[in-house]
Each structure stands twice: as C-alpha cells, then as structure tokens.
Amino acid sequence: MKIFPLVVLTGLLIGVCSASDQAREQSHANDIVASLVVGEAVWLSDGELPFLALYTEATEASGNAVLLMHGTGAHPNWAEVIFPLREGLPEQGWAALSMQMPIGAREASFDEYLALFPEVPARIEAALQYLHEQGQDTVILIGHSLGAMMGTHYLAQHDQSKVQGFIAIGLSAADVPPVSVPENISKIRVPMLDLYGSDDFPNVKSTAWVRRSAASDNPTFSQIEAEGADHFFRGQDAALLQHVSNWLATQPTEAN
C-alpha cells in the first residue's frame, strides 16, 4: 500500500461528495501528520476516497496486530483510549493500525452519525488488507464508544473469519434503527471482550446485562467492569492497557 504525501491528498479530500465530513477529516490529518511522534502515517482508500491511518510496528515481529477504531468526532491519534493502546500494544508484540473513522460535522447529532455507518465496512476492509500486506495474520478489532458500535455493525454483516477477535470499550446497547447493538452482538462468533468502566456513562453501565444476554450463544464472550474507570479511562491508561493485554494473551495467535 502506497504512502501518499499529504499535499497530494488535500485537493482530493475537500470538495468530494461524501457523508463523512471530509474537511474535518482533513483538518485532523493536517494536525496529526505535522506532529506525529509514534508510528507512521499511511493513506488507505475505501474505493472512492483516501483516509488516514497510523501504523506502528511491533517491537518484535509476531504476525499479530490490532485495528483501532475511535469514538464520535475523534481521530486515529486521540489522546484517550486510542493513543495509549496505539503506543503500548506494539511494545507487547502487537502491531497497531489506528484508522480514521467516518465523522460528522462538529455539531452532528447521533442520528447523523448513524447515517455514516454504511461507510464503515469499506474502511475496515481496506485496513485489514493493509495489515495482511504487512504480514499480520492475526488481527483483533478494538473499538471505543461509537467505534465499538461500528465494529459490531461490521462483524454482524461481514465475513468474521477476517478477524480473530473483537474488543469493545465503552459500548452501549443502543437499539436505534438502522443499528441494533444487541442484534449485532447476537451474530458475533469471534472471541469478544466487552470492557467498560465502573464510572462509565449510564447508558453503558445500565445495559451491560443486555450485552451479556445478546452474547449468550457466544461461549468466547467475556465482560469486564474496570474499577474506577470512566468512559474515557482518564487517568487509567495503564489499567486500560493491562486489561486489553491480559485478554489478548488468552487468545490463540501466532505468538501464543
């Protein structure tokens, strides 16, 4: 997969019709690329438009990788949840690819974000292809908040054999047409970790039992309430990394 200079893409991203806010994606990309310290910027394509992803090789090659999906209005270098995992997991043998998810305008409503879900699968497919081209045979999806919802949406409707597991962080059991998280979870058969904080958003905590019930036919589903963590694991980066690392260590991979 080619790495394209940012200047080449500026004209491509802005002015092309798309539900995702391309100008906002471009603004995020400009800021990230100008100050990037960990990993490298790569440009992927969903078949119509390029989008930014950040790739960090594992300290020791293992053939294992995680694909990180941020939450509402965020970006692939988001300081909360995404960056701690993007930085920490490669030190534990997991390459990390953090991708720009479709985002709405700054004041976009939840319904407007639901309208972006059809754009998600093509981006995930492009990211998975990139990881496989890098020699990563085992890929675990990790989504935070809306990114976790998008992960359930993708897995429920596509070939799950392309990934070897799914970690949902701060996932609610939203059931708002056309997206039903409980229904999506009921279709997931890959190993799944549902991780949320004891101080998480009420709609995440109160629906933990709904998610457990929806996953009743998946014997590889597990759920953890992280003590003292809020929705963004503020001040809990080390604990977040530990929870994720512990679960990854239980999964059958190239290295385990």
Task: Please give the full DSSP string across 126-177, using - where no structure is assigned.
Answer: HHHHHHHHTT--EEEEEEETHHHHHHHHHHHHS-GGG-SEEEEES----EET
Q: Considering the domain boundaries, does residue 96 fall inside one?
A: yes
d(CA 60, CA 153): 32
Q: Considering the domain boundaries, does residue 230 fall inside one?
A: yes
50-56 and 64-69 beta bridge pairing: unpaired
Give the pLDDT confidence of 18-36 residue by residue, as tens digits: 489 899 999 999 999 999 9
Q: Considering the domain boundaries, does residue 29 fall inside one?
A: no
Q: Can you give the residue range of the structural domain that contains 204?
A: 54-249
The H or E element containing residue 40 is strand 40-45
Give the pLDDT mean for 219-242.
98
Query: Which residue, chain included where needed, has tokens 């694909």?
Result: 67
Q: Considering the domain boundaries, does residue 23 fall inside one?
A: no
- Residue 96: which CATH number? 3.40.50.1820
Q: Considering the domain boundaries, does residue 2 fall inside one?
A: no
Query: Which residue, chain included where needed, has tokens 């908040």?
Result: 145
Give the pLDDT confidence of 104-157 residue by residue, as tens digits: 998 898 889 999 999 999 999 999 999 999 999 999 999 999 999 999 999 999
| Residue count (the chain) | 256
Q: For residues 97 and 67, is the Cβ–Cβ distance under 8 A?
A: yes
Give the pLDDT mean for 52-59.
96
The reported pTM is 0.91
* Biggest CA-to-CA distance, the chain: 49
Q: Considering the domain boundaries, does residue 159 fall inside one?
A: yes
* Identity of the residue numbered 210: V
What pLDDT band is residue 254 in, cutting at 50, 70 and 90? Answer: low
SS3 content of the chain, % helix, strand, coil (to 5): 40, 25, 40
Q: Considering the domain boundaries, does residue 36 fall inside one?
A: no
Q: Considering the domain boundaries, does residue 254 fall inside one?
A: no
Q: Is the pLDDT of residue 3 over 80?
A: no
Q: For residues 146 and 71, is the Cβ–Cβ distance under 8 A?
A: yes
Give the pLDDT mean for 170-181.
93
Number of compact structural domains in the chain: 1
d(CA 42, CA 99): 9
Q: Is the pLDDT of residue 53 over 70?
A: yes
The answer for residues whose C-beta is within 8 angstroms of residue 159's C-beta and 6 or more apart is none
Q: Long-range contacts for 16-23 (Cβ within 8 Å, ≥24 apart)? A: 16/48, 16/49, 18/48, 18/49, 18/119, 19/102, 19/115, 19/116, 19/118, 19/119, 20/102, 20/103, 20/104, 20/116, 20/119, 21/103, 21/104, 21/105, 21/108, 22/49
* DSSP state letter for 87: H
